[in-house]
Structure 1
Amino acid sequence: MKTVSLRWVKPMVVLAVAGLSAACTLPQVGPSKNQIQKGSVSEQGNAFVVPVNDHVARATAVVPTLGFSNAFSTAPQLTSDTIRPGDVLGLTVWENVDDGLLSGEATNATMLEEVQVDSSGFIFVPYAGRVRAAGNTPNELREMITEKLQDQTPDPQVQVRRIAGDGSTVSLVGSVGAQGVYPIERPTRTLSAMLAKAGGVIIEPEIAQVTVIRGNQRGKIWFQDLFSNPRLDIALRGGDKILVEEDTRSFTAVGATSQQARVRFESQDLSAIEAIAQVGGLISTSSDPTGVFIYRQERADIAQQVLGRNDLQGPQRVVYVLNLKEPNGMFVAREFIIRDDDTIYVTEAPYAQWTKSISLIAGGLTPFANVATLTQ
């Protein structure tokens, strides 16, 4: 059996030592677990490094709350013939006297054609003055005019009809089947019915958000909550603007994961396990399941609850640590909620660094081994 000459042993040992020393400066996907721990507040760093347990998972489980204000929720439904600004009305007034306030000697009926509702929602009726028409039905307006005239002429009879105008309308834009302006009719007086009229949503229902803009008020809900909570199926008003759009929340995944990217949420509640799965999971040959870190600017109230302190002010830099190899590590990761703008970083396993070191040493030894072989 051929052996390597002793004169080659010393160079090979020197090369091995050099390779091991170089391992300290091998390329990495990011900081190691030890380097992250050294950046903690306890080590005079500027971030709190917090291992995640059941208490931490519960304290940080905050999901954006969407909904409508009381003004939206309590508004009654409009009838299909509600008058709105811009409508043109026709009025007929009958008086029970030969010579009335409005009628002449030949007839006891007076017709007021093309009375337009002004931008403020009012019309002018002789001897009745300015009367608010918008928001009322023709019958409700008839009763209001009758009440104002009956003190001046006995038993007046009033008829109100819409001559022109579409009545109350809403506009739908965004991710709906057919964007456009739709009238509020008997079948489409509520939000869900109007969305159905427009062809429904054309994005994934789990991440669809519906915003209703009414004047200077705005309300937003999850599309799916519209059907699970009847209170959210609000009555519409003329001029409402309805916007359907995709949830814009996202997180960033870096490190030893199958995919490194900025990723949109795929559900209302996104756990750490689901987030890792969205980027293809961990890499079996290089990921360290004991070193899954979530970087977050945490709210002061939540940070104080997590850390058991009451002296924190403003957002705090917090690094949450998940250890998936612990007995309940997977359960904790399923309960830990990822939030908008979080960064998930997975460290490399020690084995991956060791493999790089061996490859470096083996690569350096090969030429010397070949030379030694040739000398035999």
Structure 2
Amino acid sequence: MKISAFEGARSLVLVALVASVAACGLPRAGPNKKEIYAGSVLQQGDAFVVTVNSRVTRATSVTPAFGFGSDFRNAGVVGSDTINAGDVLALTVFENVKDDPLLGNTGQRVSLLDQVQVDGQGYIFVPYAGRIKASGQTPDGLRQAITRKLDTQTPDPQVTVQRLAGDGSTVTVSGAVTGQGVYPIERPTRTLSAMLAKAGGISIEPAVAIVRVTRGGKTGKVWLQDLWENPGLDIALRGGDRIVVENDTRAYVAMGATGAQNRIPFETQTLSAIEAIAQVGGLNTALADPTGVFVLRNEPAEIANSVLGRNDLTGDQRMVYVLDLTQPTGMFEARDFLIRDGDTVYVTEAPFVQWQKSINAITGTASAANTVTTAAGG
């Protein structure tokens, strides 16, 4: 089939028009691969462009290190019966007399003193026994102290002491829990996990729940799932502890030829590049270039030096990590490469997309012109 000189010339004109329109800057989601590479340090830019491989993946596999310091870990479980200032006690005194008991009325051998509160200095007052130090003692130790005080005034007194739930040894539980409030540390709730259960459990997705404990001026935090899976992280509580359950605030930004463009919160403790892409609906099959998946981040100097095989970089470095999903190991690299808080995941458009946009712009303009001409001729 022969092409006439006129048709050949028209084709050349069309190609020239397409190139001209493309150069004028058609709408697009962002920079193309060539423009990103132009920003490389090798091209006098300010970012290091690095192709992801297994070595780069290992060097950048950094996840948040949560845990409790030694002050929290080394604190032993509080004795469940240790009396503290603010606690409420119930005292019962049995007297071995009938006619003239010391505490009760005539014929009353048993006297009940309930709701006896330990004052701020740790003392209680017992009639005829006086002011007795209760804070720091066990109920049995306090029982013996009261018995000694009363023994000189009534024959063979029998005393019982019961520690009720008071505010002397309590913790505050707040945040994403079912029942926020102030809870006493009692026998079943002397550890962090037990106290969370007492508060009704959490009200958010466990995979992104963080438990923060503040004691004095120090704070420690742990992933809730780690707390469940590792009993060694389950610390003993102390009166005054503040427990807050909060949602993980980490997020990344997805842009370019993806299924959605947005700021996306993490849904798990760790998130791979392939999971991040899937989380936004995958690549846009009509636009995306699978050879141009980029992850942009500011990398600490220590990691940047390790990735680049250097030791002279200081301060945060702009890094652009390149994933080519068409390579034999491309999907595996994307599966293993971890996304971090604040990352930008950007997918470039395929080269033909701009070409197609240019053709559509030209043919659309020509069609519009023909319509106008036809209308004017009519």
| TM-score class normalised by the smaller sequence | 0.7 to 0.9
Displacement after TM superposition at 1:298 (Å): 0.3
2:83/2:163 contact within 8 Å kept: no
Q: Which amino acid aligns with 2:211?
A: V
Match of 2:196 in 1: 195
* SS of corresponding position for 1:67: coil
Q: Distance in 1 between matches of 2:76 and 2:312?
A: 47
* SS of corresponding position for 2:254: strand
Q: Distance in 1 between matches of 2:285 and 2:88?
A: 73
Q: Distance in 1 between matches of 2:8 and 2:369?
A: 10
State how 1:88-99 maps to structure 2 within 5 Å: none
Aligned-pair Cα RMSD in Å? 3.7
Displacement after TM superposition at 1:80 (Å): 2.8
State how 1:332-343 maps to structure 2 within 5 Å: 332-343=333-344
Going from structure 1 to structure 2, the CA distance change for 1:134 and 1:316 (only over 3 Å counts) comes to: farther
2:18/2:355 contact within 8 Å kept: no
Going from structure 1 to structure 2, the CA distance change for 1:5 and 1:164 (only over 3 Å counts) comes to: closer
Match of 1:238 in 2: 239
Match of 1:217 in 2: 218
Displacement after TM superposition at 1:123 (Å): 4.4
Displacement after TM superposition at 1:115 (Å): 9.0
Q: Distance in 2 between matches of 1:280 and 1:134?
A: 61
For the pair 1:67 / 2:67, whether they are aligned, the reply is: yes
Number of residue equivalences:
342
Displacement after TM superposition at 1:234 (Å): 1.2
Q: Distance in 1 between matches of 2:313 and 2:14?
A: 52
1:84/1:238 contact within 8 Å kept: no
For the pair 1:328 / 2:326, whether they are aligned, the reply is: no
Going from structure 1 to structure 2, the CA distance change for 1:314 and 1:369 (only over 3 Å counts) comes to: same
Match of 1:48 in 2: 48
* SS of corresponding position for 2:339: coil
1:20/1:361 contact within 8 Å kept: no
* SS of corresponding position for 1:182: strand
Structure 1, gaps ≥5 residues long: 93-112, 150-156
Match of 2:180 in 1: 179
1:12/1:368 contact within 8 Å kept: no
1:190/1:236 contact within 8 Å kept: yes
Match of 1:21 in 2: 20
Q: Distance in 1 between matches of 2:338 and 2:133?
A: 52
2:180/2:199 contact within 8 Å kept: yes
Going from structure 1 to structure 2, the CA distance change for 1:80 and 1:163 (only over 3 Å counts) comes to: closer
Displacement after TM superposition at 1:132 (Å): 7.8
* SS of corresponding position for 2:61: coil
* SS of corresponding position for 2:271: coil
Going from structure 1 to structure 2, the CA distance change for 1:293 and 1:124 (only over 3 Å counts) comes to: same
Displacement after TM superposition at 1:86 (Å): 2.8
2:139/2:163 contact within 8 Å kept: no
Going from structure 1 to structure 2, the CA distance change for 1:369 and 1:213 (only over 3 Å counts) comes to: same
Q: Distance in 2 between matches of 1:139 and 1:44?
A: 79
Going from structure 1 to structure 2, the CA distance change for 1:341 and 1:367 (only over 3 Å counts) comes to: closer
1:294/1:344 contact within 8 Å kept: yes
Q: Which amino acid aligns with 1:82?
A: T
Q: Distance in 2 between matches of 1:329 and 1:134?
A: 65
1:141/1:160 contact within 8 Å kept: no
Q: Distance in 2 between matches of 1:71 and 1:353?
A: 60
Match of 1:99 in 2: none
Q: Distance in 2 between matches of 1:116 and 1:202?
A: 35
1:47/1:316 contact within 8 Å kept: yes
Q: Distance in 2 between matches of 1:141 and 1:13?
A: 103
Q: Which amino acid aligns with 2:209?
A: A
Displacement after TM superposition at 1:361 (Å): 2.7
Structure 2, gaps ≥5 residues long: 93-113, 126-130, 150-156
* SS of corresponding position for 2:71: helix
Q: Distance in 1 between matches of 2:341 and 2:293?
A: 18
Going from structure 1 to structure 2, the CA distance change for 1:49 and 1:224 (only over 3 Å counts) comes to: same
Give CA deviations for 1:196-237 in whole Å, capped at 9, x if unaligned.
Answer: 111111111110111111111111000011121111111111
Give CA deviations for 1:70-97 in whole Å, capped at 9, x if unaligned.
Answer: 11112111233322233467999xxxxx
Q: Which amino acid aligns with 2:199?
A: A
Match of 2:313 in 1: 312
Going from structure 1 to structure 2, the CA distance change for 1:162 and 1:281 (only over 3 Å counts) comes to: same
